[in-house]
Structure 1
């Protein structure tokens, strides 16, 4: 290979590494979904005791949580990152109609990067979704809490390329 080709390849790899480290979507807020209704505030419930490294969780006894990318338990979050590595898929403007011991249901938007021609240069698009959580199990990090382990998205008006109308995703433990 010529020196110029090697230099170009090294420069490209360095740029991609910097983007990966900085995070393509986490460095800038996701665009607001068009005509997204504002989420109503919910009355707070008694919080469970928290440890110094874990924020308190507003929940009622026996209700499962969602575990976010930073291993924090969440109840009825308004936003939730699905793609923890790069932030290229997230749920926004979530309005929860149910949060039960066996399932939860919300409406909101899935904001997805089209990654065209590549993720760092891609554009984010909002898709209206119905979110369903189920299959609660004890959380390995905090066995006193159960967490939802399955997330289903139903796209109600358009969907990202390559996605089905219904998508099932496992949630991390």
Structure 2
């Protein structure tokens, strides 16, 4: 009977965590209403977002993400934010690596029609400028194409 009680308690705890994770995930999509002319930022799950607080850069393995984003601009051509890039050092390998925080300035630009939803435009490039240190092997400013 003691084992069954522990199993039920564990199941209840897992259900509570899943409920919290689901509600937290729902809050990350489209943090600010958009206008028809304003591009969106497409996340790893193909959701359109406007002014997200967090954004995953490395969708496949999660080894690089942006957090604590504070947007100063979200316009028709560009968006700008300050935040933190959390990057896994992958030493000695990624599963055993440690994440390090690097303050960054973020710029989104090159709006283009989103192939999945042609009625929307999306930013197609992200540029990070490291303001206080940077990951080993990274340039002070790096740009990446964003998925379509």
TM-score, normalised to structure 2's length? 0.78
Structure 2 unaligned regions, length at least 5: 1-28
CA distance in 2, matches of 1:112, 1:144: 34
Alignment match, 1:139: 114
- Displacement of 1:155 in angstroms is 0.1
Alignment match, 1:84: 59
Question: Can you list the C-alpha shifts for 1:72-115, whole angstroms capped at 9, x where unaligned?
Answer: 00000000000000110000000000000000000000000000
RMSD, aligned α-carbons: 1.6
DSSP-derived class of the 1:143 partner: coil
CA distance in 2, matches of 1:72, 1:159: 29
TM-score, normalised to structure 1's length? 0.67
CA distance in 2, matches of 1:58, 1:111: 27
Alignment match, 2:26: none
Q: Quick check: 1:57–1:73 contact (8 Å CA) kept in 2? A: no
Alignment match, 1:68: 43
The number of residue pairs the alignment matches comes to 120
Could you list the runs of 4 or more consecutive aligned residues of structure 1 that deviate by over 6 angstroms after TM superposition?
A: 54-57
- Determine which structure has the larger helix proportion and give its number: 2
Structure 1 unaligned regions, length at least 5: 1-53
- Change in 2 beyond 3 A, CA 1:57/1:71: farther
CA distance in 1, matches of 2:77, 2:37: 10
